[in-house]
A and B are shown apart, each in its own frame.
Chain A
């Protein structure tokens, strides 16, 4: 009897708070069932640093607020057959995007130069630090996204529903109670 090949799943958090990942863990003991079908590739759960080239599913939490986010997202898109946006920030920019009506220059100015209590403030310019983008973008504005799990965070049940629908080869659907934008 040949065992069915497990699907490789990679996950990451970009401009997010890891809340969606915490919610992912809320699927609790169903994680064991899930692990019968999948194995984790690059993910905070495994600490693998880069995606294998043959990932089946990539799950992205968070939007794009800086250059590094873009690099990571592109790596995921390149290496994952299916890409899922998980949570409000990935889907519409979420909380970080609420800076979007302010010019970035004003923000940096205020944070590093003019806030009270800053002595000799300077804007960090270490090449190790990723530069922030002018605006925060939802990830579907930069790469093609195949599926979305809304919520802030989506409940463990919602994440479970989408993943099990996908594993069953169905179009994911969230009915009343599971579908939430908050």
Chain B
């Protein structure tokens, strides 16, 4: 038996156990998100996918759909809040899009476009973060990490390797790699790993491939993120 809820007035069918974002996505409705990935267990940390369910804010990636729920998503209020979260992510790290190879294919950037983010608004933290170029095939630029933990989950749950992890706490939370040296070259990471494919921003980058696609032809040049299928995320 199929159930439905409403999302911004639209009737959305769902099956037992589906979360709001899964059901919305299956119905072709976009809800902004960064740490959510359809192939992984929901994490619920970025909070970009927050919606209002019967008037209460909740992350749509972790909230199971229930019959008759009234869900609001594309409202001015919620998008303003999402925009503020995006701005927080921009000032927390060092996001210089013009010099980033992921630009044009970056989910953070595309989400900010979607939300009409014209400026980062807050004062920048300009943290001092490292770049790890030790691995022959992959570059890690921690300046752009948004702590979505997709690489952590992919390496642990799909690759069975635990190459990545989070350490620190609060604003000092940071990505670490599984080596005493702290260097990616000293792990068993490989370009074929799932973890190499899932970074929504420009932290995990294949070397010697930068700027391969000309401006104008990159993923989000062609269509806004709201019209891009979930299954190709992070590629």
Direct contact of A and B (CB under 8 A): yes
**Which residues between 93 and 139 of chain A lie within 8 Å of chain B, taking CB atoms?**
93-95, 97-98, 100-101, 135, 137-138
Q: Assess the A88–B97 pair: CB atoms within 8 A.
A: yes
Q: Which of B97, B127, B224 contacts A181 (CB 8 A)?
A: B97
CB nearest to A149 among chain B residues? B118
The answer to whether residues A93 and B224 also contact, given A145-B119, A181-B98 and a CB cut-off of 8 A, is no
Contact with A along B192-235 (1 / 0, CB 8 A): 00000000000000000000000100000101100000000000
Bound together, the chains give a CA A97 to CA B93 distance in angstroms of 13
Q: Which of A88, A135, A172, A177 contacts B98 (CB 8 A)?
A: A88
Q: Does A82 contact B (CB under 8 A)?
A: no
Q: Which of A92, A97, A140, A147 counts the most B-chain CB atoms under 10 A from its CB? A: A92
Bound together, the chains give a CA A180 to CA B113 distance in angstroms of 7
Bound together, the chains give a CA A101 to CA B98 distance in angstroms of 18
Q: Which of A91, A93, A100, A173 contacts B116 (CB 8 A)?
A: A173
Bound together, the chains give a CA A138 to CA B121 distance in angstroms of 10
Q: Assess the B124–A92 pair: CB atoms within 8 A.
A: yes
Q: Assess the B97–A152 pair: CB atoms within 8 A.
A: yes
Q: Assess the A101–B126 pair: CB atoms within 8 A.
A: yes
Q: Assess the A179–B116 pair: CB atoms within 8 A.
A: yes
The answer to whether residues A94 and B126 also contact, given A173-B116, A174-B118, A182-B104 and a CB cut-off of 8 A, is no
**Which residues between 112 and 130 of chain B lie within 8 Å of chain A, taking CB atoms?**
112-113, 116, 118-121, 123-124, 126-129
**Which residues between 164 and 182 of chain A lie within 8 Å of chain B, taking CB atoms?**
172-174, 176-177, 179-182
Q: Assess the B119–A182 pair: CB atoms within 8 A.
A: no
The answer to whether residues A182 and B103 also contact, given A88-B98, A98-B96, A148-B119 and a CB cut-off of 8 A, is yes
The answer to whether residues A85 and B103 also contact, given A94-B96, A181-B98 and a CB cut-off of 8 A, is no
**Which residues between 153 and 170 of chain B lie within 8 Å of chain A, taking CB atoms?**
none
Q: Does A39 contact B (CB under 8 A)?
A: no
Bound together, the chains give a CA A101 to CA B94 distance in angstroms of 10
Q: Which of A95, A138, A176, A180 contacts B120 (CB 8 A)?
A: A138
Q: Assess the B224–A176 pair: CB atoms within 8 A.
A: yes
Q: Assess the B96–A91 pair: CB atoms within 8 A.
A: no
Bound together, the chains give a CA A91 to CA B96 distance in angstroms of 11
The answer to whether residues A138 and B98 also contact, given A148-B119, A181-B103, A181-B112 and a CB cut-off of 8 A, is no
How many whole Å from B146's CB to the nearest CB in chain A?
Answer: 15
Contact with A along B78-118 (1 / 0, CB 8 A): 00000000000010001111111001100001001100101
Knowing that A88-B97, A181-B97 touch, tell me 18 more A-B residue pairs with CB under 8 angstroms: A85-B119, A88-B96, A92-B90, A97-B124, A98-B96, A98-B99, A138-B120, A138-B124, A145-B119, A149-B118, A150-B119, A173-B116, A174-B118, A179-B113, A180-B113, A181-B98, A181-B109, A182-B100
A-contacting residues of B (Cβ < 8 Å)?
90, 94-100, 103-104, 109, 112-113, 116, 118-121, 123-124, 126-129, 215, 221, 223-224
Ordered nearest first, which 9 A-B pairs have the shortest CB separation? A181-B97, A152-B98, A148-B119, A101-B128, A148-B118, A100-B126, A182-B97, A182-B103, A176-B224
Query: What are 29 A-B contacts with C-beta separation under 8 Å?
Result: A85-B119, A88-B96, A88-B98, A91-B119, A91-B120, A92-B124, A93-B126, A95-B98, A95-B99, A97-B96, A97-B124, A101-B126, A101-B129, A135-B126, A137-B124, A138-B120, A148-B118, A150-B119, A152-B98, A173-B116, A174-B118, A176-B223, A179-B113, A180-B113, A181-B97, A181-B109, A182-B98, A182-B100, A182-B103
